[in-house]
């Protein structure tokens, strides 16, 4: 059978013959063989293409192709940098066909990496504040001076017992564990993340079921795909998932999309459901109840793998401990979740829900489901969206099956690093306050309120690829604390570009973009495990050409550094003589007493922690590090399968004991595993044995990393920590449920992305800015008629704490009564900051404050400007959208800690004097809203069942020592009482 390559070769032969017949010289094409989709890896040292700017002359350019990974979302797709062998500059980025997750494909943001590299407004040298914070006055500073100053303050904080005053706050990590390891080496519980404004709602829903906080759907093998997010354009792992969703659709799979807004994904769906925001669990529970009522579920799977016996013992002690009794109890629990009820809550027609339920039922074990952010990040109780979605998989047995949904830990690989410091000995209540013992991540977005309340202060605060003033809700409260040097002593912004938050720093330190730094990744994008290597491509290119590069600054533009080398250097300066015990975690193993290099750090990992890589490298005569520098990724295994079903070998059952529900504990030491992927760490038994598996029909199997070892339909953790009524998958009416709104209020959805924007980092990616640079308010025609506005008219959107003025976009792509505004746009810089900033996407504003009253007025949009890039003189757009997040108060979910983004708003025509982009905020009201949500919590001091601050088994990005978990005082009352 003829292959595609044969066909292409035949065409080339025919073209050669044609040319010969015309008496012309045949030009075989720059690639010499054919225009293949991807350059074959054997030719990455010298790949030839024609110089496009010389057309019609055929000028051949020779490139070295160097792999790295994209840093423009969390998918970590593979990129190939085309490094010009003459100039040693990167000319473009395209997909890396060797990357198992992205398979050579990218979204628009991958190739736009070149815009970021050549951005004329990027920061190229370290800067130090030269006036008041936020005054816009800066002076250049050397790396050495900045490092010494920062290191001295951190050392003093550690030595003085003020370690909790050191905090590292990260937006997009883009790596697995490097910085957590650095903080652990300092003994500092100082990790803060953005996750509670992002995905912790979904994570909590998954974690309480499986002990793992992410799903890994096998979309490509599915017969039915059920999504609660906009995956094809902007959702989680969206390019790697989108291509697999399309594979499945082409093979005949049905696609169900629940999204109040007609997203690009919804346009591809067989069923688009536009539910009233927050009602998603009601629909999912109605489908679940239908599956059970009609007997269309996998009874054996439920019997074997759910912790139903534990549920009966805790909640139905009078019932016989039989599976039939559980089935009856399940039916009773969800009897009220009829299609009619779901239709009344959601506004989706009953008939449509019934059709969807039948479609789901027909999927059997080939149901792939996914939710991330979206409804789970919008609503009070949103974490139950993920919990009720996974309930469908758990009922159908579509868990770790081909076409089903896997727990992510089985499709992800985090290699063990060269040094592993101990858990920090302290607990930081600025990130993990007692009110939120079950939060999946740091209460990051409450930091300004905690600082204002006097819960602590920060001496050294790093923001890294993080822009809370713009990204978080309530940004002006952030501004208030970041400009107060009594609350934040030193603010160090680690960033490649200017941002609203970097303007408020004391040091702005230029860090490398994706192709200028090292990182390791592995993400769950199909049933397999891979690792990918982000690397500074010019360093790798120079080294491939025989040069020696000892510091990434030698090849990066200006004085741009990479963070890993920065952290190693900083750690050495904190502990120059090693007396604090920090330095040893940043020393070479090969050359004790010398500084660890990134080559040794990654070389050790690839040599010792990635199974199969050393052999694959040796087969090509390469070291493992050289292999990863050349190809950028490695697939460890495909087809991981159902890990929970694996029998536990006898050798791991030393002095084993089993509890009343089949959880098995052992004294055998845990086998050393190179994979340190984060997941739940269930507690040992009373005799100190570690959990090793669970008995299922007489066989000890691996099970899940939950307390019971099973899928936890019933969470004893939730019940024991004061949330008994939430211990099983359920539906809690959202804070924006119709019954919570006034008659003239609507719901604002602000959680959706623009597919070609990247939060803060895409700012000056000129191709992306040209594609998308505004965020009008989606408004249904019936609402537009009622309000009396049309497309392009200015409307005033009033929230609990303020208002913003934006343009209307009238569309039937949103349900009546709901409005939507994308969260990517509305970047700004203060008038005082002049030319500093991302001038392709930032408006210039005037910002005034009188006590708690803030006003922002737009002075100018963007305009053409002269720079080293002639395209900046061709900017044709002025609009950059409106920064709505400033007008949102914080809404922390009392269980998951997730910020509940949806807002109850009033939408009116703009008033006389209102102008586009106007913003008004009352930060006093913002603090009052924070206090009111705080009152909904059930804190550890009153509800801890065991004298700890938080269940030890729950994941934490940087886990302190077990001692740090102990409360200073015993709980105030019986914790089991809700
Ligand atoms: S999906 Fe797009 S932005 Fe995200 S990593 Fe892949 S190419 Fe980059």
pLDDT tens-place string over residues 703-743 = 999 999 999 999 999 999 999 999 999 999 999 999 999 99
For 207-258, the pLDDT digits (tens) are: 999 999 999 999 999 999 999 977 666 667 889 999 999 999 999 999 999 9
Q: What's residue 40's pLDDT? A: 86
For 168-193, the pLDDT digits (tens) are: 998 888 788 899 999 999 999 999 99
Asked whether the predicted pLDDT for residue 74 surpasses 90, the reply is: no
105 Cα: distance to centroid of ligand 1 (angstroms): 9
For 445-472, the pLDDT digits (tens) are: 999 999 999 999 999 999 998 999 999 9
What's the Rg (C-alpha) of the chain? 28
Atom of ligand 1 at shortest range from CA of 108: 2
- 37 pLDDT band, cuts 50/70/90, is low
Asked whether the predicted pLDDT for residue 763 surpasses 80, the reply is: no
Rounded Cα distance between 181 and 582, Å, is 11
234 Cα: distance to centroid of ligand 1 (angstroms): 10
Average pLDDT over residues 755-780: 89
Q: Are strands 367-371 and 224-228 parallel, antiparallel or unpaired?
A: parallel
216 Cα: distance to centroid of ligand 1 (angstroms): 17
Atom of ligand 1 at shortest range from CA of 111: 7
Asked whether the predicted pLDDT for residue 46 surpasses 80, the reply is: yes
Atom of ligand 1 at shortest range from CA of 113: 8
Name the closest-CA residue to atom 4, ligand 1. Answer: 73
Mutate to test the pocket of ligand 1, among 238, 465, 519, 768 (most ligand atoms within 8 A of CB): 238
Asked whether the predicted pLDDT for residue 51 surpasses 80, the reply is: yes
Task: List the structure tokens of 33.
Answer: 């063989």
Name the closest-CA residue to atom 6, ligand 1. Answer: 77
Rounded Cα distance between 738 and 470, Å, is 29
Average pLDDT over residues 682-708: 97
Rounded Cα distance between 258 and 812, Å, is 16
For 892-931, the pLDDT digits (tens) are: 999 999 999 999 999 999 999 999 999 999 999 999 999 9
**Cis peptide upstream of residue 706 (ω within 30 degrees of 0):** no
Rounded Cα distance between 206 and 388, Å, is 9
116 lines ligand 1 (CB under 6 A): no
Mutate to test the pocket of ligand 1, among 69, 107, 229, 244 (most ligand atoms within 8 A of CB): 107
Name the closest-CA residue to atom 1, ligand 1. Answer: 239
Asked whether the predicted pLDDT for residue 133 surpasses 80, the reply is: yes
Q: What's residue 36's pLDDT? A: 58
691 lines ligand 1 (CB under 6 A): no
215 lines ligand 1 (CB under 6 A): no
Mean pLDDT of the chain: 94
77 lines ligand 1 (CB under 6 A): yes
749 lines ligand 1 (CB under 6 A): no
Task: List the structure tokens of 151.
Answer: 């290191």
Average pLDDT over residues 529-550: 97
Share of the chain above pLDDT 90, in %: 88
Q: Are strands 458-464 and 488-495 parallel, antiparallel or unpaired?
A: parallel
112 Cα: distance to centroid of ligand 1 (angstroms): 10
- 824 pLDDT band, cuts 50/70/90, is confident
109 lines ligand 1 (CB under 6 A): yes
Contact (Cβ atoms closer than 8 angstroms) between residue 79 and residue 110? yes
- The residue behind tokens 């080398």 is 565
174 Cα: distance to centroid of ligand 1 (angstroms): 12
Asked whether the predicted pLDDT for residue 1 surpasses 50, the reply is: no
469 Cα: distance to centroid of ligand 1 (angstroms): 25
Atom of ligand 1 at shortest range from CA of 95: 7
Atom of ligand 1 at shortest range from CA of 102: 6
106 lines ligand 1 (CB under 6 A): yes
169 lines ligand 1 (CB under 6 A): no
Average pLDDT over residues 519-523: 95
Rounded Cα distance between 208 and 677, Å, is 17
Atom of ligand 1 at shortest range from CA of 79: 7
Residues 6+ apart with CB under 8 A from 413: 522, 529, 530, 531, 610, 636, 675, 677
For 639-662, the pLDDT digits (tens) are: 999 999 999 999 999 999 999 999
Q: What's residue 823's pLDDT? A: 85
Average pLDDT over residues 549-557: 96
Backbone phi and psi for residue 395, each to the nearest 5 degrees, phi listed first: -75, -40
Contact (Cβ atoms closer than 8 angstroms) between residue 734 and residue 380? yes
- Residue by residue, DSSP assigns 757-826 as --TTTTTT-HHHHHH----PEEE-HHHHHHHT--TT-EEEEE-SSEEEEEEEEE-TTB-TTEEE--SS--
128 Cα: distance to centroid of ligand 1 (angstroms): 33
Asked whether the predicted pLDDT for residue 978 surpasses 50, the reply is: no
- 567 pLDDT band, cuts 50/70/90, is very high
Mutate to test the pocket of ligand 1, among 102, 245, 514 (most ligand atoms within 8 A of CB): 102
Q: How far is CA 468 from CA 491, 923, 957, in A?
A: 13, 15, 19
75 lines ligand 1 (CB under 6 A): yes
238 lines ligand 1 (CB under 6 A): yes
Q: What's residue 3's pLDDT? A: 60
Name the nearest CA neighbour of 881 among 785, 707, 750, 790. 750
In this structure, how many other beta carbons lie within 10 angstroms of the beta carbon of residue 364? Answer: 18
Q: H-helix or E-strand containing 395?
A: helix 383-396
Q: What's residue 237's pLDDT? A: 80
Q: What's residue 974's pLDDT? A: 44
Asked whether the predicted pLDDT for residue 976 surpasses 90, the reply is: no
Atom of ligand 1 at shortest range from CA of 106: 7
113 lines ligand 1 (CB under 6 A): no
Name the nearest CA neighbour of 557 among 316, 868, 961. 868
Q: How far is CA 882 from CA 454, 479, 916, in A?
A: 32, 18, 8
Average pLDDT over residues 783-802: 98
Q: How far is CA 584 from CA 185, 418, 589, 591, 817, in A?
A: 9, 11, 9, 12, 60
Task: List the structure tokens of 249.
Answer: 């659709």
Contact (Cβ atoms closer than 8 angstroms) between residue 926 and residue 480? no
SS3 504: helix
Rounded Cα distance between 220 and 103, Å, is 14
239 lines ligand 1 (CB under 6 A): yes
Residues 6+ apart with CB under 8 A from 386: 201, 202, 203, 204, 205, 206, 371, 376
Average pLDDT over residues 612-616: 98
102 Cα: distance to centroid of ligand 1 (angstroms): 9
Share of the chain above pLDDT 70, in %: 96
Q: What's residue 146's pLDDT? A: 98
Residues 6+ apart with CB under 8 A from 173: 179, 193
For 79-117, the pLDDT digits (tens) are: 999 999 999 999 999 999 999 999 999 999 999 999 999
- 28 pLDDT band, cuts 50/70/90, is low
70 Cα: distance to centroid of ligand 1 (angstroms): 6
Average pLDDT over residues 618-625: 97
- Residue by residue, DSSP assigns 954-971 as S--SS---GGGGB-SS--
Q: What's residue 975's pLDDT? A: 42
Q: What's residue 231's pLDDT? A: 67
613 lines ligand 1 (CB under 6 A): no
Contact (Cβ atoms closer than 8 angstroms) between residue 629 and residue 64? no
470 Cα: distance to centroid of ligand 1 (angstroms): 22
Rounded Cα distance between 720 and 975, Å, is 7
108 Cα: distance to centroid of ligand 1 (angstroms): 8
104 Cα: distance to centroid of ligand 1 (angstroms): 11
């Amino acid at each position: 059978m003829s292959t595609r390559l044969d066909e292409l070769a035949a065409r080339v032969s025919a073209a050669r013959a044609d040319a010969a017949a015309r008496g012309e010289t045949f030009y075989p094409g720059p690639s010499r063989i054919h225009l293949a989709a991807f350059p074959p890896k054997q030719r990455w040292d010298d790949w030839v293409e024609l110089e496009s700017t010389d057309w019609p002359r055929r000028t051949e350019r020779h490139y070295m192709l160097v792999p790295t990974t994209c840093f423009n979302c969390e998918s970590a797709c593979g990129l190939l940098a085309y490094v010009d062998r003459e100039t040693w500059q990167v000319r473009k980025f395209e997909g890396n066909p060797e990357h198992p997750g992205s398979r050579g494909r990218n979204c628009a943001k991958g190739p736009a990496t070149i815009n970021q590299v050549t951005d004329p407004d990027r920061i190229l040298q370290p800067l130090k504040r030269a006036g008041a914070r936020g005054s816009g006055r800066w002076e250049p500073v050397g790396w050495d001076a900045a490092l010494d100053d920062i290191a001295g303050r951190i050392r003093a904080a550690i030595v003085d017992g003020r370690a909790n005053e050191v905090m590292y706050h990260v937006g997009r990590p883009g790596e697995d564990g490097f910085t957590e390891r650095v903080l652990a080496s300092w003994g500092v519980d100082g990790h803060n993340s953005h996750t509670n404004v992002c995905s912790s709602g979904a994570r909590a829903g998954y974690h309480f079921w499986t002990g793992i906080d992410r799903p890994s759907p096998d979309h490509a093998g599915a017969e039915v795909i059920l999504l609660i997010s906009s995956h094809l354009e902007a959702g989680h792992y969206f390019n790697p998932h989108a291509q697999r969703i399309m594979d499945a659709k082409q093979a005949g799979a049905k696609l169900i999309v629940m999204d109040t807004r007609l997203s690009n994904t919804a346009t591809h769906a067989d069923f688009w459901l536009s539910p009233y925001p927050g009602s998603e669990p009601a629909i999912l529970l109605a489908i679940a109840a239908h599956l059970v009522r009609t007997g269309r579920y996998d009874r054996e799977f439920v019997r074997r793998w759910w912790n139903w016996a534990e549920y009966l013992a805790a909640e139905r002690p009078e019932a016989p401990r039989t599976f039939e009794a559980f089935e009856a109890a399940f039916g009773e629990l969800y009897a009220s979740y009829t299609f009619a009820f779901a239709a009344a809550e959601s506004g989706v027609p009953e008939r449509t829900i019934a059709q969807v339920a039948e479609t789901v039922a027909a999927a059997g074990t080939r149901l792939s489901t996914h939710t991330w952010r979206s409804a789970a990040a919008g609503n009070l109780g949103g974490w139950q969206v993920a919990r009720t979605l996974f309930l469908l998989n758990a009922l159908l047995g579509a868990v770790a099956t081909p076409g089903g949904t896997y727990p992510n830990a089985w499709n992800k690989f985090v290699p063990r690093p060269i040094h592993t410091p101990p858990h920090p000995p302290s607990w930081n209540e600025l990130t993990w306050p007692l009110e939120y013992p079950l939060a999946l991540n740091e209460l990051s977005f409450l930091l300004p309120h905690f600082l204002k309340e006097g819960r602590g202060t920060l001496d050294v605060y790093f923001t890294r690829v993080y822009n809370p003033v713009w990204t978080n809700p309530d940004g002006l409260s952030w501004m208030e604390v970041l400009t107060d040097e009594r609350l934040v002593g030193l603010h160090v912004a680690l960033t490649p570009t200017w941002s609203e938050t970097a303007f408020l720093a004391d040091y702005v330190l230029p860090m490398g973009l994706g192709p200028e730094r090292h990182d390791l990744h592995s993400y769950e994008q199909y049933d397999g495990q891979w690792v990918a290597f982000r690397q500074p491509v010019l360093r790798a290119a120079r080294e491939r050409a025989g040069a020696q590069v000892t510091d990434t600054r030698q090849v990066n533009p200006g004085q741009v550094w990479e963070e890993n080398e920065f952290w190693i250097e900083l750690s050495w300066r904190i502990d120059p003589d090693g007396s604090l015990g920090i330095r040893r975690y940043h020393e070479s193993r090969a050359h004790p007493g010398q500084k660890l290099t990134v080559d040794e750090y990654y070389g050790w990992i690839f040599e010792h922690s990635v199974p199969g890589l050393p052999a694959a490298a040796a087969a090509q005569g390469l070291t493992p590090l050289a292999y990863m520098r050349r190809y950028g990724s490695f697939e460890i295994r495909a087809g991981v399968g159902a890990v929970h079903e694996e029998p536990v070998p006898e050798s791991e059952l030393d002095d084993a004991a089993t509890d009343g529900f089949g959880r098995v504990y052992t004294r055998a030491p845990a086998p050393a595993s190179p994979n340190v992927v984060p997941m739940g760490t269930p507690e040992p038994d009373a005799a100190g044995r570690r959990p090793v598996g669970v008995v299922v029909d007489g066989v000890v199997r691996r099970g899940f990393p939950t307390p019971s070892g099973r899928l936890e339909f019933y969470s004893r953790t939730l019940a024991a920590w004061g949330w008994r009524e939430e211990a099983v998958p359920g539906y809690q009416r959202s804070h924006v449920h119709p019954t919570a709104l006034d008659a003239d209020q609507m719901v604002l959805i602000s959680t959706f992305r623009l597919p070609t924007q990247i939060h803060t980092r895409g700012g000056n990616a000129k191709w992306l800015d040209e594609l998308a640079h505004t965020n009008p308010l989606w408004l249904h025609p019936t609402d537009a008629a009622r309000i009396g506005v049309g497309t392009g008219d200015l409307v005033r959107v009033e929230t609990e704490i303020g208002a913003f003025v934006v343009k209307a976009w009238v569309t039937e792509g949103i349900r009546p009564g709901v409005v939507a505004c994308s969260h990517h746009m509305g970047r700004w810089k203060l008038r005082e900051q002049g030319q500093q900033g991302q001038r392709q996407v930032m408006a210039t504003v005037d910002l005034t404050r009188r006590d708690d009253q803030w006003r922002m007025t737009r002075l100018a949009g963007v305009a053409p400007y002269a720079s080293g890039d002639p395209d900046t003189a061709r900017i044709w757009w002025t609009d950059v959208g409106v920064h709505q997040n400033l007008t949102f108060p914080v809404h922390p979910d009392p269980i998951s800690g997730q910020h509940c983004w949806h807002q109850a708003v009033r939408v009116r025509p703009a008033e006389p004097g209102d102008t586009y982009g106007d913003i008004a905020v009352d930060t006093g009201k913002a603090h009052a809203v924070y206090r009111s949500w705080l009152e909904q919590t059930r804190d550890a001091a009153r509800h801890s069942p065991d004298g700890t601050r938080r269940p030890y088994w729950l994941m934490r990005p940087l886990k302190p020592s077990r001692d740090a978990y102990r409360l200073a005082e015993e709980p105030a009352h019986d914790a089991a009482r809700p």
